Structure 1
Amino acid sequence: MDKMKATYEVMLALAAEMALDEILRKSREEKLYGAIDSALAEGDEVAFRLLTDELKTLQR
């Protein structure tokens, strides 16, 4: 029974970690979209390219 409890706790921790990772990824993605919009509005091609590259990497 203890082994099942330990396995359950590990699986629960993994699920929590996966949920947190997803929340952090979505938050970063939203910030990147805003920064990309700003870079476009300002005509900052370098920032635009860097930000879109990061976004592409994040979405893989």
Structure 2
Amino acid sequence: MRDSRELQRLKSDAIKNVEIITSPGARYDATVSSVIRIRTVKKQGEGMSGFLPFHIL
């Protein structure tokens, strides 16, 4: 999250899944006791795509 208001703006239909990690381990700082990981649905058209024509001789 970049801003605490992002969570308030998140709509329920945009959530793909929620994972609660109660022992986050070495990946996080020692002061972190739990993590809530929210994965969102990728919007149509989000990301990069393209077409690169080429010829094999």
- TM bin, normalised by shorter chain, reads under 0.3
Q: Output the TM-score relative to the length of structure 1.
A: 0.19
Compare the two structures and name the one with the higher strand fraction: 2
Compare the two structures and name the one with the higher helix fraction: 1
Q: Output the TM-score relative to the length of structure 2.
A: 0.19
